[in-house]
Structure 1
């Protein structure tokens, strides 16, 4: 059995797929399988994948377009590795990525999901992700704290908690999975090093499906917050979403502050989150700095 199963969904990414696959095949850690799920591509993507002669590649094909969540779940279903690594068909993994993530997970057996920092190609900008499980769990109330294509996950923890990608959360399926992981009291961490080059371009889902993604994110934010503060939020969902979406109405300032006060009071009673970190989180929300 391979140590790592790399799951790479692909749809019409002929321009970048070769470079992406090669960055996986050239990893310093070689004990892996690369499961590529072709989601009914209409360009040369399947031809390119099938032309690469490496026995570690497992090629799966959707006859009709299923979307990223179903494609990812298909890859998970067929995976055999202890760890699940994510990869996209337009990004580049640093050659020591898998080795460093596996070493960390082997040494930290309580961590279920491990992301990394990333470099935005063509900009020189480094995307620095949140560090610390407590920070992840709090900041997930507002933002996605893990860069999806950098992730390595412990498969046994996902299976034991019946966690998978929600097909109803297409366009934000990763954010939904992280909130499900956090809600199951599984630990999320970030390896504080750049281990992936992320390629921004105009064909990305975040660009082509930005409105659909925004609406899905709203639902995920509210659902995750309801896990903890359902009584406090009921009847004030709009106020909460405006607050967490940086869309605050100056005429509702008192409403926002009252809601924050009530949420913090409930947290003090129930001890969901570290109070100091929770206090700082809402300071940043009001500042608009996250």
Structure 2
């Protein structure tokens, strides 16, 4: 009889040989021992492959790509072979604190209505915690602006990933985790635990640093895609207005009157679709309106 672990941890890696050992060790040090760690070596040309293969722990499975395919294809490959009841995707340059898997697993076991749980986090060498909203309806609204929750802090039910074919859209080359979470939130409730379970390492090799402009391009596309939740097909002018407004960056082409008309259109559309909490959406849009008007007065 085959035995499946409680949690599958997927770790894509590309040329992080100088960092991956610390990240793997942080998974092996978890207080919940019943997991599998799937390391997906994305065609590394450094010693990442050798380091991954140096571990004798039977919980570690390794997938080797012969060439570099990209982070999201690597994540998809790991998710498709995952055997755990729950799964999470972690960075090969980041640190999982010892109780991360145990506490998130227990939380999902105790809250069956939730499909996914994230957590607070901090940057390595920075004690400042990044706490996150716990209310599902508020989280959905906050994703209208950007990828609000850190994807690497999330644990999701594997059955839901399989049921909804919830894998990464690889066409969003540098922002697919944003799209993935938006889709997840449209399918099932999620929350965050405001304890720090994860530490993010900032360095020059990160996608955010190396491909910031490209990442922003895809982020804007995902923002526009969310207008489908209102059943709105925006004109090119409305797309530009919405992006400027959500960014809080004043544009001389869009004055306060146009912004308020756009807000009214979004609120009226949501009264029909009821996708977002009307009050939480209104609060969110009003806050952005205030920020936009403030920016206009500064220019």
Question: Which residues in structure 2 correspond to 1:71-90 (within 5 Å)?
Answer: 71-90=74-93
- Contact 1:171 1:213 (8 Å CA) reproduced: yes
> Which 5+ residue runs of structure 2 have no aligned equivalent?
293-299
Counterpart pick for 1:146 among 149, 155, 160: 149
In 1, distance between residues paired with 2:195 and 2:176?
24
Matched, 1:106 2:86: no
Partner of 1:203: 205
The TM-score with structure 2 as length reference comes to 0.92
Partner of 2:163: 160
Matched, 1:285 2:270: no
Partner of 1:227: 229
In 2, distance between residues paired with 1:269 and 1:160?
28
- Contact 1:130 1:190 (8 Å CA) reproduced: yes
Over 4 Å off, 4+ runs? none
Q: Secondary structure at the match of 1:194?
A: strand
Q: Report the Cα offset of residue 123 of structure 1.
A: 2.1
Counterpart pick for 1:39 among 34, 37, 42: 42
Matched, 1:96 2:86: no
Q: Report the Cα offset of residue 50 of structure 1.
A: 1.0
- Contact 1:130 1:145 (8 Å CA) reproduced: no
Cα RMSD for the two superposed structures:
1.5
In 2, distance between residues paired with 1:44 and 1:282?
48
Partner of 1:50: 53
Partner of 1:128: 131
Q: Secondary structure at the match of 1:6?
A: strand
> Which 5+ residue runs of structure 1 have no aligned equivalent?
none
Q: Report the Cα offset of residue 34 of structure 1.
A: 0.1
